[in-house]
Structure 1
C-alpha cells in the first residue's frame, strides 16, 4: 500500500513552492533538507498553516493590480493558489509567468529602486551645489568678503533647519544610517517618507549654509525611503521590503561616490549585517542601476586624482601600520566626541529648534578664526590638498582637530547631514601629515604624502563605521588606482583591530546601544532560535512495535497521513523509526508479508526538548530527514514526542503572528507617545518581584511593551504565559516617564537605583 494519489499531487505542488519561496516559511535550511521537510509539512490538516503562504502567492500575482480568482477546495490548483480567471486577457496570460516569479518581481523592483535612487541623488547633489554657490560663494561676495558673514551663515542655516524640522516633526527612527539600521531591525524596513523628506531638505540647508557634514547619509536616507515606498506600494512581505530598502541605500551610495562595489558592501556590512546570495544579487542590480543613472548626469571621472604610486620597499609597510594605529585613535575620538556632543545637546534645557543654530554659530566661529575649510562637506579642500599637498604638518593636524570639533557640533546640535565625508576628510588630513613626516625621515622608501592620505581615508572610515570591506573598496573606487590596495588593507585592518579594542561601538551604533537598541542582536532574533523543540513537538503521536505487521503499518499510514512512526519495545523504550519510504521500498517488490522488525531504522537521529528549532532543523537537514523522535537528554531511549516539519511550521506561524502583533503594538505605542518612547534593557536579579511570575500577572505600565527576553544567550519572544527567571534580560519599549514603574515591577528597583 502506498500514499494516495491525491497526496502525491499536493506533495509535488507544495514542494515546488517551498523550493522557490523558502523565505516565506522562515525556515532557513540546507538545500537538501527542503524537499523532505516540505513533504512532511503537507501532512498537516490545518489549512491555516498554509494560508499565509498561499495568500502571499496570490498577492504576488496581483502586484500591479491584478488579482487571482479566489481559491476553492475543488479547484485543482487551489492548493498552491495559482488559479486564474477564465477571462484573463492575452497580456495577463503572457505576463503571468513573470509576475508570479519571486526572482523576476524582485529584480524588477531592485532595478526600479536603483534607477529612482540614482536620479534622486542627481537632484539632491545638484540642489546642494546650488545652495552652496548661492549661500557661500555669492553670499560672501555680496557681503564684501567680510569674515562676519562666515560667522553668521552656519548659525542662520542651523536656525532654518531647527525651524524646518520642528515644523514637520518627523516620526519614527532617527536620521541617516543609524535610523535606517533601526528601521530594518525593528520596523520591518518601514522608512517614514515625511521624516525622510524633512531630513533631506534639512541636509540641503545644513550643507548649503556651511554646516560641517556630508551628503552621503542623506543620500542613503533618500535611497532607503525609495526602496521602502516601492516595496510597500507592491505590498511585499517585510523581508522583501527590507531587501529593497538595502537596494535603495546601496544604489544611493553607489551614485553619490560613483562606487557601486562600495554601495553593495555598505548595504551588506552595515545595514543588513548578513550575507545572502539572493539578497546580494538584487542589491548588485540596484547599485549598478543607481551608479549608471548618476554617471549619466554627473560624469564618470574619479572623485580624486592622486599621484602615481608604487610600494618601493616592504619596510614602508611599517609606516602604514603606524598610520593605521593613528587612524584608529582619530576614529574612536570621532565616535565618542559625537556621542558626547549629542547627549549634551539632548540634556540641555533649551528650545530644540534653537540648538542647531548654536552648533552652527560654533562652526562659524571656527571659520571666522581662520579655518573656513571646515565648512560644508570639505571635498573641495580634500581634493585640492591631495593634488598639491603643500601644507605643513601642524596645519594639517590643526585641520583634523578643527573638522572633528565642527562636525560633532553640527550633527550633535541637530544639524542634518552625514558622517562619511567628515571621516574621509579627517583621514586625508591625518594621512597627509604622517606622509610628510615619513618623507622627511625615510625619503628613500616613502610614497608621496597623497598616497598616505588616500590610505588614511579608508583607515579612519573603518574605525568609525566598522565596515572593513567598504573601507577597502571606497578609496580604490574613488581614485581608480589599485596600487594603494596593499598598504590600504594593512592600515584598515590595523585601524579596525585597535578601534575595536578601544571602543566596541561604531559611530552609528553607539547611540542606538545607549538607548537599548541593538540592530545586530535583533538580526540574530531568528524565530527558529526563539522556539524550543519541546514547545513545537507533538506529544501525542502514533507508535508501532517491531511485531506490527506490514499490512497494519500500511493502514496506519493511510489513516493518519503521517510519513513515519517511532518504533517502541514492550517497555515503551525507543528502538528506532519506520518511514513511508521504508514501507514503499518493501511493498514495491510485492512483499506484503512480514513485520516492522524487518524494515525499521535502528538508532535514528533524535532531538532533545531543550534544543532550539534551528539546532534541530540543521541536524535533520544534514541527513535529509523530515521528522525525528524527541527523547529525554538523560535517558535517550525515553520517547517524549515527535518533531516533524508540520510541527515546525505551526510553531513558526504561531510565534510569527505574535511578533507581528508585538510590532504593531510597538508602532501604536510610539505613535501614542509622540516618538518619546525608548528601548531599555533591564536585568532581572534573583529575588526580584518578577521572578517566577508570568508576564501577564505583572503590574506593567500601559506605556510599556516587552520586546524580547534574553535568557542564557538565547532570545525568547515574550508571551503572556512566559515565566521570568533570575538572570533574564528584558528589552522593553517604554515611555521615559514610565521607566521607573517598569523597573520596579521587573527588577524591584526604586527610582534612581541601578542603571
Structure 2
C-alpha cells in the first residue's frame, strides 16, 4: 500500500511538473502560429478573404433587420422601402421618429456611463492608432445607426456597415498580433467588404478603402482588399437576390457638348456638396443652443423630421440612392424633394441620430441632375441632353464631393450601369466637383467632422506613429546634473576635460535651471574666480526642455529653436525635475528610421534599405 501511495504521489508530481511544460508548449505553438501569419503574405490574404465573407453575411443581416424594422414601424406595403412610400399613416410618420429619437437618446445616455469615450471610426483608427479599434464601440455605433435608420432618420447604414466590418477586422488582427501595416490593411479590408456587400460593387468597395480608409493605393494592399471585397459580395449575394441598390439598365448617349455639360454640372454639384455639409453643422449648433438635455435632442430632431415628412414622405430613411423612380418626377417635385432631403439629413445628424451621408449624397446628386435636366429641357429644349446622363453625373459628383472618394463614385456608376461612356461623363463631373470642394471648403464630410471635434487629420494616412514616438521613448535616463550652488572648480573635478560636452544645472530643490556648456567651465580665462564662482551663473537656456508627451516633431522643433545638442526631459511643465534627456542626433536617427519603415510598408517591402 505505501508503494502504491508513493507511486500515485510520484505520478501526480510528474503531472504537476508536466502541466507548466505543456502550457508553455501550447503558448509557444500559438506564438509560432502568429509569427507565421505575420510573415506570410498568403496568410494575410486568406485572413482578409475570410473576414470579408463574415462581413458580407453581417451586412446582409443588417440590411434585412433595417428593412424589417422600417416595415414594422411604418406599416409599409410589401415590397416597398421607406423612401419609396408616398403615403402612409400620418400618426406613424409623425411619431415613430420621435419615439426612435427618444429611445436612442436614453440608450446613448445609459451607455456613456459605462463607456464615456468617443467611438473611433476606421479613418481615425488608421490615421492615429495604427488600425486599433474596439469591437464593443463599433457595435455601439452599429446599434445606434440601426435604431436611427429603423425609426426613419434620414441617415445611411453605410456608417454602421463600415464600422462593424472594420472593427471586426481590427480585433481579429489585434488578437493575431499583426504588424501595424497589416492591421491597417485589415481595417481597410473590413470597410471595403462592407461597401462592396452593401452595393454589390466590389470595385467601388475596394477603392472606398483605398481612398478613405487606407489613404492610398499600393501593390501590397491590392490583393487583401480585393479578396475581402469579392468574398463579401459573393456571400451577400448568396443570402439576397444579388441586385444592386442602384440599377440603370439603359445605356446613355455621350457626345461632344455633353462633356461640357458634365463639367458645369460637376461645378454646381461641388457647391451643393458644401451646402449639404454645412447645413449639418448649422443644425448641430442650433440643437446645442436649445435649452434641452443632450439625450432629448434626437427626439426633438425626430419631431421636426416627422413634421417635414408629413409634407414630403420620401425624406424618411436613407433610400437606396438615386433610385430612377425619384428622378422622373416633374421639375417642381424633384426640387422640393431635393431641398427637403438636405433639411431632413441636417435635422437627423444635427440632433444626434447616428449614420452617414453616403446614401443620401447619392440621392441628392441624382435629384440634382434631374432638376438640372428639367430646367434645361424647359428653357433650352433643343440641346438634346440625355436625362439619365445628368442623373448619373449628378449622383457621382455630389457623392464624391461629400464622401471624398472620387474614384469610388466613378466605379460605382460603372458597376451600376456597365456603361463606360456614362463613366467617362461621370469622371469629368467628379473631378470638377471634388476640385471645387477642395479649393472652396477643404474637407470631405468625414474630415470636416474630425475638424469640428479638434482631431488634426485630413485623411487616413498614418500619422499616429509620430504621436507614439515621444520624448519619453527617445530619452535616456542617465542625465548629468549638477547643483547651481557648486563651484566651477568642483564641476571641473567632477567632469574633467573631454568627459562631457554639457551638463544640466538644477536648483537645490531639484528644479531644472538651464544647460551648462563644459567648454565654458574649462575656460582658462576664468582664473581664480573659478574657486568661488557658482556654476549656476554659467547656466543658459532655462526654457530649453521638452516634456515626456512631446512627439518627435515637437522635439526636433525645440532643438531648432534652442540650438543645443541635448535637451532635458522634465517631469511636467509645473514640476521641473529632470526625468532624462534627448540628443538631437538620436532623435533625428529614430525619426529617419520610422520614415523609412513607413515607406517600406507602403511599398510592401519590409526589407527596404537593406534591413530584414
Structure-2-length-normalised TM-score = 0.69
Q: Distance in 1 between matches of 2:303 and 2:253?
A: 44
* 1:67 counterpart residue number: 28
* 1:472 counterpart residue number: 410
Indicate whether 1:358 and 2:312 are aligned.
no
Q: CA deviation at 1:359?
A: 1.1
- Residues 352 and 97 of structure 1, relative CA distance in 2, 3 Å threshold: closer
Q: Distance in 2 between matches of 1:528 and 1:199?
A: 26
Indicate whether 1:222 and 2:182 are aligned.
no
1:695 paired residue among 531, 543, 546: 546
- Residues 348 and 311 of structure 1, relative CA distance in 2, 3 Å threshold: same
* 1:201 counterpart residue number: 143
Q: Distance in 1 between matches of 2:551 and 2:288?
A: 27
Does the 8 Å contact 1:330/1:460 carry over to 2?
Answer: yes
- Residues 241 and 149 of structure 1, relative CA distance in 2, 3 Å threshold: same
* 1:74 counterpart residue number: none
Q: Distance in 1 between matches of 2:453 and 2:260?
A: 40
* 1:263 counterpart residue number: 205
Deviations 1:560-600 (A, max 9, x none): xxxxxxxxxxxxxxxxxxxxxxxxxxxxxxxxxxxxxxxxx
Secondary structure, in 3 states, of the residue corresponding to 2:243? coil
Deviations 1:473-527 (A, max 9, x none): 1122233333311210111111111122210011111121233323348625666
**Structure 1: unaligned runs, 5 residues or longer:** 1-61, 71-81, 83-94, 537-689, 697-704, 710-714, 727-738, 743-755
1:510 paired residue among 411, 428, 448: 448
Q: Distance in 1 between matches of 2:69 and 2:412?
A: 27
Indicate whether 1:423 and 2:361 are aligned.
yes
1:159 paired residue among 88, 102, 117: 102
Does the 8 Å contact 2:321/2:363 carry over to 1?
Answer: no
- Residues 487 and 171 of structure 1, relative CA distance in 2, 3 Å threshold: farther
Deviations 1:620-653 (A, max 9, x none): xxxxxxxxxxxxxxxxxxxxxxxxxxxxxxxxxx
Secondary structure, in 3 states, of the residue corresponding to 1:397? helix
Deviates more, 1:285-294 or 1:513-522: 513-522
Q: Distance in 2 between matches of 1:528 and 1:346?
A: 32
Secondary structure, in 3 states, of the residue corresponding to 1:127? helix
Q: Distance in 2 between matches of 1:117 and 1:69?
A: 25
- Residues 96 and 181 of structure 1, relative CA distance in 2, 3 Å threshold: closer
* 2:128 counterpart residue number: 186
Q: CA deviation at 1:317?
A: 2.0
* 2:400 counterpart residue number: 462
Deviations 1:20-50 (A, max 9, x none): xxxxxxxxxxxxxxxxxxxxxxxxxxxxxxx
Q: Distance in 1 between matches of 2:321 and 2:444?
A: 27
RMSD of equivalent CA atoms: 3.5
* 1:414 counterpart residue number: 352
Q: Distance in 2 between matches of 1:457 and 1:717?
A: 47
Deviations 1:435-457 (A, max 9, x none): 22333445455343233112111
Indicate whether 1:374 and 2:336 are aligned.
no
Secondary structure, in 3 states, of the residue corresponding to 1:350? coil
Indicate whether 1:338 and 2:299 are aligned.
no
Does the 8 Å contact 1:303/1:479 carry over to 2?
Answer: no
* 2:192 counterpart residue number: 250
* 2:59 counterpart residue number: 121
* 1:318 counterpart residue number: 260
Does the 8 Å contact 1:692/1:725 carry over to 2?
Answer: no
Q: How does 1:478-517 map to 2 (within 5 A)?
A: 478-517=416-455
Indicate whether 1:231 and 2:231 are aligned.
no
Q: Distance in 2 between matches of 1:216 and 1:167?
A: 25
**Structure 2: unaligned runs, 5 residues or longer:** 1-22, 476-540, 563-572, 576-612
